Amino acid sequence: MNSDNQNNTQKAFSSLSKVIILKIIAISSIVTVISTGIQLYRDYSQNVSKVDSDIKRVSSLIVPELSYNLWHLDLKALKMQLHSLSSTGEFTFVEINYDGKNLSSGVDDKFLQKKEKTWPLMYSYKGEERELGTLRVVTDLEPYIEHVLDTALFILTANFIKTFIVAFVMIYILRGHVMIPLNVLSTRLKDFNINNLDKEDIDLNRKPSSTVDELDIVLYSVNKMKSNLISDIERMKKNREEKEELVIKLNQSQKMEALGRLSGGIAHDFNNILHLISGSAEQCLHYLEVNKPVKIKKYLGNIVEFAERGDKLIRQILTYTHQKKVEYTKINIVDVIKTSLDMMRSTLPANINIDFTYDQEVEILGDVTQMQQIIMNFCTNSRDSIGTKNGHIKVRSQINHIKNEVRLIISDNGVGIPEEVKAKIYEPYFSTKPINKGTGMGLSIIHSIIQQMNGRIELISEVGEGAKFIIFLPVHLEGNEDGALDHDSSHLVAEDSLKGKKVLILDDEEVIANLHKDFLETQGAEVFCYTSAVAALGALKVGLEVDVILTDLSMPDMTGFEFAKSYSESGGNSPIILLTGHEEKVLSENDISDYNIEEVLLKPINMEELLEVIKSI
């Protein structure tokens, strides 16, 4: 390849030399021909002018003498004069015509180029002018033309030789002073690349001179350009490193912002886990005393299960918040979505349901943490859009085999996005949330991440109709495998035939409900266990009478507060104990007193403490 470039360069310079030589010769030849033509025309004009002068001399001097001799018929004198005119060289042929006779001297041929003149021979006799005859002179111009042509050939030959000599001397000078330095410069520039920018300046190996010419200016410009490139590349490298560092910090800041918004839900889930572990441990101690190994095994299994659940949640949070440089690798997008949604399920309120479906497992080139960031950001925005009403977040993964891309569709039934907001939704620092509720960088960073993955994003939304974000990502063509989503089909059915004090337990988590049921049954209570607020209300309305109602606050169909309100407004008067995993105050004093709510207990709660609260009511 290098040899080809060198050959092309040499050919280019060779062609340039030929062009310069030909142009110099052509221009010089044209100038030579024109100048020679002008010079020859002047010589020819001077010769013709001499003939005209001779003709004028004949008219003024010779014609009167011939007229006199003709009047006296001095033929001898006439012949001598004619011979004199034809022998001097100015005139080729002279002739006198008189009385039908003629006298001539010289040769009268059919000349191709000639100049002739005829005069009347007049004589004055007794005051009367008489015409005696005519004088005709002819001059052959061909000798003059031949002389001009001979001269032209000599001049042109001499001028062409001079032109060629001057042209080759100019080329030699041009080659030494211009072409060779340009060839050296071209060779140096041909090998010019980003890897040798820091080498010394280009030198043309010219002799030192006190003057500066055009080549020195060109060389200075090239070296200056090289210096500027080095400076610009160093600045671009520094800017790129600073940009990468800022992007990493910005991503981390956005992740921490999202984690801060999710912290309440995370605390709720951890409190549930701790509550189950603590309660199961207490139950194990109790059943150890009464020697019931089946119950002990059951609650030990609960402790192991929820310890693993807590460990999994911690690992997900640590993975999400881990600050590292982005490295794209093959990742199974279905597995990443499952993991992200598992963490989101534990942080979203119970009034929001998440549904995930996919048609095929697929691999993409991406970063696990970034993909988790995308899923959690959209789900968090959907949560804020849905608010306190019953809502859903639907996540779909669909494969387009024709375009080799996966479509990730995230939709909700929130308030939707107005048209004026759509145009600015991906702009940095643009946010519709109140101050201190968001930086406005979430969707901007998500948009940047998707673009870096060679993907794109579309938004479909109408006010009041929810929002649908469609993310298009290229599929990694290797390792695609068909798969199906595994569903946990385990479902525990609570027993509702018990004796003792009548207690209604309502919790959407069956394990928690059964934990409380088993504990209260050991205390001799008759327990009615429900995982649906609607079912519990229905049972109470048709005549179920209980002494105490123990209900969770966060549930999908109806919150514990909404349950208490509906129950009290329908005439129920049994005291209600609310259990919550949220540390912040969730109800006002008026809400508690108006709807039979006696206590609000924070999970995890010691079983003995729960027993004391029930006994005190």
pLDDT, tens digit, for every residue of 361-406? 999 998 887 888 788 888 888 888 888 888 999 999 999 888 899 9
Q: Which domain holds residue 46?
A: 2-164
Does residue 291 lie within any of the structural domains?
A: yes
Same-domain status, 524 and 429 = no
Strand order of the β-sheet with 405-412 is 352-358, 391-400, 405-412, 467-474, 456-461
Question: 431 and 519 share a domain?
Answer: no
Residue 521 has pLDDT above 60, yes or no: yes
In the chain, pLDDT over 90 holds for what percent of residues?
A: 13
Instruction: Say how many domains are in the chain.
Output: 3
Residue 36's contacts (CB-CB under 8 Å, 6 or more residues apart) are 152, 155, 156, 159
Strand partners, 409: 396, 470
482 within a domain of the structure (yes/no)? no
Position 196 in a domain: no
If you search the block for the tokens 């060198």, which residue do you land on? 6
Residue entry with tokens 């020679």: 36
- Tens-place pLDDT, residues 457-478: 888 888 888 889 999 999 987 6
Are 69 and 144 found together in one domain? Answer: yes
Mean pLDDT of 560-574: 91
We report the CATH number of the domain holding residue 343 as: 3.30.565.10
Among 109, 138, 164, give the residue marking a domain's end.
Answer: 164
Residues 12 and 133 reside in one and the same domain: yes
505 lies in some domain: yes
Interatomic CA distance for residues 605 and 275, integer angstroms: 6
> What is residue 411's predicted lDDT score, i.e. its pLDDT?
92
Considering the entire predicted model, what is its pTM? Answer: 0.34
Tokens linked to 390? 């019953």
Strand partners of residue 456:
472
How far is it, in rounded angstroms, from Cα 594 to Cα 591? 5
Q: Is residue 484 part of a domain?
A: no
Best-predicted range by mean pLDDT among 90-99, 212-221, 251-260, 520-529? 520-529
Q: For 46-94, how does the pLDDT look when each residue is reduced to its tens digit (9 = 90+)?
A: 777 777 777 777 777 788 888 888 888 888 888 888 888 777 767 778 8
Identify which of 556, 551, 562, 557 has the alpha carbon closest to the alpha carbon of residue 598.
Answer: 551
**CB 526, CB 502: distance < 8 Å:** yes
C-alpha distances (whole Å) from 588 to each of 350, 580, 600 are 20, 14, 11
Distance of alpha carbon 167 from alpha carbon 32, whole angstroms = 13
pLDDT for residue 393: 92
pLDDT band at residue 314 under the 50/70/90 scheme: low
Q: Are residues 466 and 512 in the same domain?
A: no
Same structural domain, 447 and 506: no
One domain, residues 466 and 571: no
**Same-domain check for residues 127 and 91:** yes
In angstroms, the CA 155 to CA 38 distance is 12
Whether residue 120 sits in one domain with residue 10: yes
Give pLDDT, residue 530: 94
Average pLDDT over every residue of 85-114: 79
The CATH code of the domain that includes 566 is: 3.40.50.2300
- pLDDT band of 485, cuts 50, 70, 90: very low
State pLDDT tens for residues 404-418. Answer: 999 999 999 988 888
Judge whether 158 lies within some domain: yes
Question: In this structure, are 470 and 524 located in the same domain?
Answer: no
Same domain, 318 and 456: yes
Output b/e per residue, 317-355; b: 16+ Cβ within 10 A: beebeeeeeeeeeebbbbebbbbbbebbbbbbbbbbebe
